[in-house]
Amino acid sequence: MPVNYSPLINDCMIHFLRISLLFCLVATATAQNKPLSNRIANYTIDVVLDADKKTLFGKETLIWKNTSNDRISELQFHLYLNAFKDKNSTFMKESGGQLRGDMMDPSKSMNLGSITIESMQIRNGETLTKKIKFIQTDDLNEKDKTVISVPLSKPLSPNESITLDINFKAKLPQIFARTGFADNYFLVGQWFPKIGVYEPAGMRYATKGQWNCHQFHANTEFYADFGTYKVSMTVPKEYQLAATGIFQSESPHTNGTKTITYLAEDVHDFAWTTSPRFVISERQWKHVKIKAVMQPEHSGSTERYFQSAITALTYFEKNLGKYPHTVLSLIDPPVNGAGSGGMEYPTFITCGTAWGLPKGFRFPELVTVHEFGHQYFQGMLATNEFEESFLDEGFNQYYEGRIMDENYAPGSQIDFIGFTINDMETSRISYITMKNPKITEVFRNAWEYPKGTYSIMTYTKTATLLKTLENMIGRSTMDEVMQTYFIRWRFKHPCVRDFIDVVNEIVPKRTGNRFGTDMNWYFDQVLYKAPVLDYALKSINNIEKDSKVSGQFTVERLGDMILPTEISVQFADGKQELIPWNGEEKSKLYKFDKAISSVKVDPQNKLLLDLNFNNNSKAVDPSMLVFRKYTMKIMFWIQNMMQWMAGIA
């Protein structure tokens, strides 16, 4: 009797499939748990908030790894809260106690903030507390206490890690420059001793290994290495809390407090907020749990926050890459805490609204879209905001314009009783209406911009030069450039040279060298120098001779910037011709054997850096063209108002 092997074969196949499925699940879990970054700086912090005294008591354990080939004999740390210690800090001297519409009076102690390291010790080793010294890495202000150096008796070898136990005490300022308290609302940012970035030779612009740990300036933000943060925050039991990362646990205590723990991975900063007044709701979008942490009087804006966050998530996922985190918190500040609004931290952004704000004023949408964009440029690319602030703010401003104009038109910023303002045009107007657009180049340290130019250079001129580049090379090429740059450099601290390299790699290939073998000529003008662009139609004439009519016109380059463009010529017979012009001549005469009706340089207004579109065109009959000569002044006024209201970072 033959043996029936079918049951045995079926059992083997089932067993094989089970093993295969288990293998796939394990492989998937392993892939999901693979670090996204190099995790150089890893923190475990236990902090207690005294809500009455507005103070923090913290115990911090830092595990930091030397990933360079250097032997490191000192560590450097940021103590950002000391920027608000007194009127003598570099931050206060530069800002005059005013920032983003907020004012701080340093003569009132309740306004001030500070941080003190009470002890610092190497785990099972040397006590470093008495070796700490304040240093001033950028200026000669010996009274600035925002950076410390900590010498090590035993240098740290390559690939060696050091574990430090740090006890610190911090006093929060009344809300100012993105951090502090307003009554019983707390936004706790830049609040703990944070190690600087050690840049080995070859990283960014470093020719030798060096610490990059700048002082806190009025016009600078932050730069730090990626790592993991496990933070346990003890607050009054009636307070609610939201923070960077993922909620882990909540433990009540008998003394009227509770401890809430969050874990964040592959981030370079940690912020949190707490208040007894929050109204919290959640919304799921794909893999992301979005949490709206609202003031009760602003509950009418909750859905606007959710929808604008989803709009931004969708757009960035499609055009740059997947948002890697599973959480996003939207924090709504109270009116008296507005100085903490419009700010970004990993997985955690602060928004802004007002009670009864009409839907046509898209302030909540604009701030939410802008701050979420930082999750990519500041959160994942993590460029150095001290030295190249435009790589975060300007690139993000460019995407803000794209998202707002494509999703909220007409009138992506304002659409009210027939009056509309779009986002990208306000960026352009901010730049072209500045008093002296030649005063500074974009590429410079953020604290070294001439007074009043930081926001224009960092935000709006950069957005305008990127949109001009897009108009020149085409949207599909620009998208390939931006996506390649993002995917190649996320979690790696790129510099602008890395971005330009991507442009030079892709644009000539996609455009058939129409702009040359590289685009260095463009960035030399728009980033590293400060020429201005202004093309103009000087004259247009029709000349009748011997019963024949000929037409001619003269174009001029009034500025020093040279960008290729086109000239549209409309003839009297109804025909039209498009003429390429390299823009190199200061003046050029064109002649035709028939009459001309009108001429326009850059007919599609691609070159948004052009200071004056009104002089780009002329007609034989001036009534053919309508010039809105006052529009730009009106738009500029409204742009300033919007920026003042938003205080966007």
Q: Is the pLDDT of residue 9 over 60?
A: no
What integer best gives the mean pLDDT of the chain?
A: 91
| pLDDT for the residue 25 | 40
At 106, is the pLDDT very low, low, confident or very high (cuts 50, 70, 90)?
A: confident
The dihedral over CA atoms of 18, 19, 20, 21, expressed in degrees to the nearest 10, equals 50
pLDDT in the model for residue 36: 97
Average pLDDT over residues 591-608: 97
Q: What is the dihedral of CA 133, 138, 139, 142, to 10 degrees?
A: -10
Cα distance between residue 330 and residue 309, in whole Å: 8
Give yes or no for residue 24 having a pLDDT over 60: no
> What local confidence, expressed as pLDDT, does residue 103 receive?
74
pLDDT computed for residue 564 by the predictor:
98
**SS3 state at 144:** coil
Cα separation, 340 vs 599, in Å, equals: 50
| Tokens at 614, concatenated | 């009104």
CATH code for the structural domain at 277-381 = 1.10.390.10
Average pLDDT over residues 539-566: 96
**Tens-place pLDDT, residues 506-526:** 999 999 999 999 999 999 999
Q: How far apart are CA 443 and CA 456, in angstroms?
A: 12
Per-residue pLDDT at 161 exceeds 60:
yes
The b-or-e profile of 314-336 (16+ CB within 10 A means b, else e) is ebbeebbeebbbebbbbbbbbee
Q: 36-274 — its CATH code?
A: 2.60.40.1730
How far apart CA 475 and CA 469 sit, in angstroms, is 9
Contact (Cβ atoms closer than 8 angstroms) between residue 216 and residue 209: no
The answer on pLDDT for 16 being more than 80 is no
* CATH class of the domain defined by 535-606+612-634: mainly beta
Which regions of 397-460 does DSSP assign to beta strands (E)?
A: 414-416, 419-421
Q: Which amino acid is at 358?
A: P
Cα 404–chain centre separation: 16
pLDDT for position 421: 83
Comparing 45 with 20, the larger pLDDT belongs to: 45
Mean pLDDT of 581-598: 97
For residue 273, what pLDDT band results from cuts at 50, 70 and 90?
Answer: very high
- Whole-number pLDDT of residue 348: 98
Among 217, 221, 216, 256, CA closest to 236 = 256
What pLDDT, on a 0 to 100 scale, did the predictor assign at position 634?
52
Same fold across 392-526 and 535-606+612-634? no
The proportion of the chain whose per-residue pLDDT surpasses 90, expressed as a percent, equals: 83
Work out the number of other CB atoms within 10 angstroms of the CB of residue 109.
Answer: 8
Among the listed residues 349, 56, 333, 331, the one whose alpha carbon sits nearest the alpha carbon of residue 185: 333
Identify the three-state secondary structure at position 246: strand
Where in the chain are the domains? 36-274, 277-381, 392-526, 535-606+612-634
* Residues 215-250: tens digit of each pLDDT: 999 999 999 999 999 999 999 999 999 999 999 999
The topology (CATH level 3) of 392-526 is Neutral Protease; domain 2 (1.10.390)
Question: In terms of pLDDT, which residue wins out, 643 or 110?
Answer: 110
Q: Residue 648: what pLDDT?
A: 62
Which residue, 403, 477, 467, is CA-closest to 430?
467
**Could you tell me which residues come within 8 angstroms of residue 451 by beta carbon, excluding any fewer than 6 positions away?**
none
